[in-house]
Amino acid sequence: MDPKIMASFLELNNIEKLQHDSKSFHNDIPMSAVSNPLSFKAEAPVLNNYFFKNKDIFIRKHNRFAPYPMHTHTFLEMNYMLRGSADERVDGEHIHLSEGDLLLLDVGCKHAIAALGENDVMVNILFRDQDISIRMLNDMRRNRSVLYEFLLNRTIKKQNIRKFMLFQHNDRNDEVRSTLDHIIVEYFQPREFSNSIIKNYLSILMTQLVRNYNVRAKEISESQRIVLKVLRDITNHYRNISLESEAKKYNYNKNYLSNVFKKEAGKTFSTALTQQRLIHARSMVTSTTMPISDIIEAIGMSNKNFFYKKYNEQYNSSPGQDRANAESDALSKKL
């Protein structure tokens, strides 16, 4: 992080001076930023789009020395722990943030933040892009592989989708922290085209979060364990894998493995394999000029009619339409 920006974050502002002396919360948000002003004392207030005005993104340091009361908002929020640590209460759960961690809060997510210490620096990043949500990130992750879809369905109830995600920092995802630092620098040291650069960084950040976020299966049974192994094999070896080869590999009867897979994964082995192949096919369709016939062969399929039928069922479009849209998007960005 830029030393000047870090120094400014560590410097006490007027609200922090008050909170430091009184050890109690002092509101720095005008009533015009609250959708239901009367709720400030009665219940969790809803913060509206006041912060954005003519901007797509709003960034500020979280004030230290006093707990921030329970609240919610009409926009997506990131709590980025730039330095030190913090504790939050998020939708009834206790969340601990260490340095480098990022907490993503969806629209309507209730959360409160415990008092930060003198050396704790949390940066709040707010943005109002209605196309970005927890559900969108789930869909992005799901489109990585059929394995992710299975894990997500185990950890997220469809009727009660979690309204937050915790991205914990480790040595493998320093790229996420680097991108966040770039966003903060562009915001607090604006130059020509900073707003456009920040918006592009946000797109990169979303993709990096998906790439670096691991979904872990907990308390799995023996049958789920074998299905996870098969799903990983489908993800890694989709071109030439088969149910027969998997049954032989894990020393199971083919019919038994087929039944267990369908019960636990909610789909047949063949369906999961086709979905994984189509994920890679679409990636090649939209990012290369490879002929569709070559793509079909590259993903391990041979029946062209079957490929086009399943592609349309999975993506509600044709390979030709997706390629044309991708080329159009690339052209518009150049212009």
The predicted-structure confidence for 49-76, as pLDDT tens digits, reads as follows 555 555 667 888 999 999 998 888 777 7
Write the single-letter amino acid at 15: I
Q: Is the pLDDT of residue 215 over 80?
A: no
Q: How far is CA 303 from CA 271, 299, 306, 312, in A?
A: 15, 12, 5, 15
Mean pLDDT computed over 246-253: 94
Mean pLDDT computed over 2-10: 92
Q: How confident is the model at residue 223 (pLDDT cuts 50, 70, 90)?
A: confident
The answer to whether 101 and 59 are in contact (CB under 8 A) is no
Fold of 222-334: Arc Repressor Mutant, subunit A (1.10.10)
**pLDDT on residue 141:** 55
- Mean pLDDT score across all residues of the chain: 81
Q: How many helices (H) and strands (E) would you count in the chain? A: 14, 10
Nearest to 203 by CA among 183, 174, 177, 173: 183
Q: What is the pLDDT of residues 167-214, one digit of tens each?
A: 887 766 688 889 999 999 998 998 888 878 887 888 788 778 777 765
Give yes or no on whether 3-212 and 222-334 have one common fold.
Answer: no
**pLDDT on residue 157:** 42
**pLDDT on residue 293:** 94
Mean pLDDT computed over 217-239: 82
**pLDDT on residue 64:** 94
Most confidently modeled of 7-21, 51-65, 194-208, 217-231?
A: 7-21
The answer to whether 105 and 58 are in contact (CB under 8 A) is no
Question: Two tokens at 328?
Answer: 């159009």
Q: Is the pLDDT of residue 155 over 50?
A: no
Q: Is this model's pTM higher than 0.75 or not? A: no
**pLDDT on residue 172:** 60
DSSP assigned state of 50: G
**pLDDT on residue 4:** 92
Q: State whether CATH 1.10.260.40 applies to domain 3-212.
A: no
Please give the residue that has the higher pLDDT: either 13 or 47.
13
Q: How do strand 111-113 and strand 76-83 relate by DSSP bridges?
A: unpaired
Sequence-ordered list of residues with C-beta below 8 angstroms from that of 308, at least 6 positions apart, any chain: 318, 319
Q: How far apart are CA 293 and CA 78, in angstroms?
A: 43
Q: What is the pLDDT of residues 92-141, one digit of tens each?
A: 889 999 999 988 888 778 899 999 999 999 999 887 655 455 555 555 55
Q: What DSSP element (H or E) covers 264?
A: helix 254-265
Q: What percent of the chain has pLDDT over 90?
A: 39
Q: Could you tell me the residue ranges of all domains in the chain?
A: 3-212, 222-334
**pLDDT on residue 213:** 62
Q: Count how many residues are written for the chain.
A: 335
Q: What is the pLDDT of residues 275-325, one digit of tens each?
A: 889 988 988 998 899 999 999 999 999 999 999 999 999 888 899 998 988
Write the single-letter amino acid at 181: D
